[in-house]
A and B are shown apart, each in its own frame.
Chain A
């Protein structure tokens, strides 16, 4: 369980995190979604005590992070997979963490295997690791102490599709066994497929939060017909309609309502479904549009899995 209360962080006149409050519940994956520079990483660094907040507080499992006697045994943290000594081997990094936490040495080999690194790769220096391998190593460090809570900043960065699938299953399993997972991403799709709860941040402020189904419901319905009769019929009933391109309409109502209206109006439908991804993406872009420094560039980056920046 992670509780964040009215967290604010100011750098000079700039407010990086502005009155942020949310909780991440046990047994659930909480997705922390926002464009680059929205304040995700700063919030996560404050939670684990690496950055002092200007005001507000954060607790993990009921205590401030730094008050845990052996934090690695309670909370697995991966903030930046590239933040490791380049001259140390993967196994060396795990050994340092294993010794700090006071775990048996065998735990290192277990985790190397668990995250899918070969023994040979583990003996290579991190300088020679791909970003995907660094992410796997970082997840190994986070899981090493068998924690109850995971805090992961952009863990999918640099993973190939197979790796993303693997991580998704791993985090799902962790949450299903009662663990708390907070993971951030600027990739909407990534959050959408794994998160139970979603917290959307833009410009340092929380702009939306709720369960995934709540947020998806808010996204409405996507419907496709020939002609404009359905749009008229819906508007007559006071249901807002927006063209969604390619002859489709996005409707602020659930699919059942739209279907009833179409039947009553005698309009044949070629497609009727919850707007889901499209809707959430639209919402995400809409909610964060004002905070984007460069809308187009950010949009492009959202689809670029190979990005290395954190």
Chain B
């Protein structure tokens, strides 16, 4: 009995030709890509760092903020800021590790349709963005309750209802921006540097330019994704701000996505 069972596993048996296998459903590819974002050491710690910074940021607000600043909005902001930096890096790595770690050799032989793999990664990215903002809201709420109790103040829920979806949207867009950078550059180092330059270096430069050049001050809302995107975090956007967001998203997100996809279809996986 045992001998037979062992023998069976020891002999991979080519089956008769002509059998048909079912195609791989998209849900399975998404599930696998989602798993791949967490099952590496770097992926695990990036995800863990989101939760850790959320808890640390909440604790800092409870301990150090003046009483009148212990409000839900401030908790959300304290948690959201580190998250907006880390999440796009998670998205970048989900794409670029296929090249930098060369796991794409296996990924693209198991699923040769590269568009499908990338679409699955995109869906997984959006899911992670939504779930992590849920975590942020949750940790923020707990922090707010604890903070007001510790400080003996009234619990202030000062978030506008529109922000309940504007902030998740901002998070999804931020993460997709990282995804687009990763898809275009296909190198972890290059994409992360590009993203950090975009997130940390460009804003003060754009600020300087718009302060000195009036023509740039006029076009800036339409082309500066940082600027148009930031609006979502602290106010309900006006119609014009929505239009700003649309044009700058096209420039910074849609354009690299399309270019990256076109290049990827022709690229060699080595």
Binding site for B on A (CB under 8 A): 26, 45, 48-52, 61, 65-66, 68-75, 77, 79-80, 82-89, 92-93, 95-97, 99-102, 110, 113-114, 125, 141, 143, 146-149, 170, 173-174, 177-180
Contacts and interface: CB of A to CB of B under 8 A. Distances in A.
25 contacts: A45-B268, A49-B109, A50-B268, A61-B17, A66-B112, A70-B22, A71-B111, A72-B110, A73-B21, A80-B102, A83-B102, A83-B106, A84-B102, A85-B40, A85-B101, A96-B35, A96-B106, A100-B28, A100-B110, A148-B15, A148-B17, A149-B14, A173-B11, A178-B14, A180-B14
Contact of A97 (B13, B15, B106, B269): B106
Interface residues of B, number: 42
B112 A65 contact: yes
Interface in B1-44: 9-17, 20-24, 28-29, 31-32, 35-36, 39-43
B15 A72 contact: no
B268 A66 contact: no
Nearest to A49: B112
B105 interface: yes
Contacts of B23: 69-70
B216 to A, nearest CB: 41
B257 to A, nearest CB: 22
A41 B22 CA distance: 29
Contacts of B21: 68-70, 73-74
Contacts of B111: 71, 100
B210 interface: no
A12 to B, nearest CB: 13
Most chain-A CB neighbours within 10 Å: which of B12, B28, B112, B113? B12
B103 interface: yes
B39 A92 contact: yes
A83 B12 contact: no
A74 B39 CA distance: 27
B110 A101 contact: yes
Task: Enumerate the 6 nearest inter-chain pairs by beta-carbon distance, A residue then B residue, closest first.
Answer: A179-B14, A83-B102, A66-B112, A87-B40, A69-B23, A87-B41
A146 B15 contact: yes
Contacts of B32: 96, 99-100
Contact of A141 (B42, B106, B108, B113): B106
B121 to A, nearest CB: 13
A174 B14 contact: yes
Most chain-B CB neighbours within 10 Å: which of A51, A83, A180? A83
Interface in B73-121: 97, 101-106, 108-113
A77 B106 CA distance: 8
Contact of B109 (A48, A82, A102): A48
Contacts of B16: 178
Contacts of A148: 14-15, 17
A88 B28 contact: no
Contacts of A93: 106
Contacts of A96: 32, 35-36, 39, 106
Most chain-B CB neighbours within 10 Å: which of A50, A51, A146? A50
Given A92-B39, A100-B32, A100-B110, A69 B14 contact: no
Contact of B102 (A75, A82, A125): A82
A146 B40 contact: no
Contact of B9 (A49, A68, A82, A110): A110
Given A87-B41, A113-B9, A100 B268 contact: no
Contacts of B29: 100
Contacts of A88: 39-40, 103
A102 B26 CA distance: 12
Contacts of B102: 80, 82-84
A103 to B, nearest CB: 11
Given A99-B32, A173-B11, 19 more contacts: A45-B268, A50-B108, A50-B109, A51-B270, A66-B113, A69-B23, A83-B101, A84-B103, A87-B40, A95-B35, A96-B36, A99-B31, A100-B110, A113-B9, A114-B9, A114-B10, A146-B13, A148-B14, A174-B12
Contacts of A68: 21, 112
Nearest to A77: B109
Contact of A177 (B13, B266, B270): B13
A122 to B, nearest CB: 13
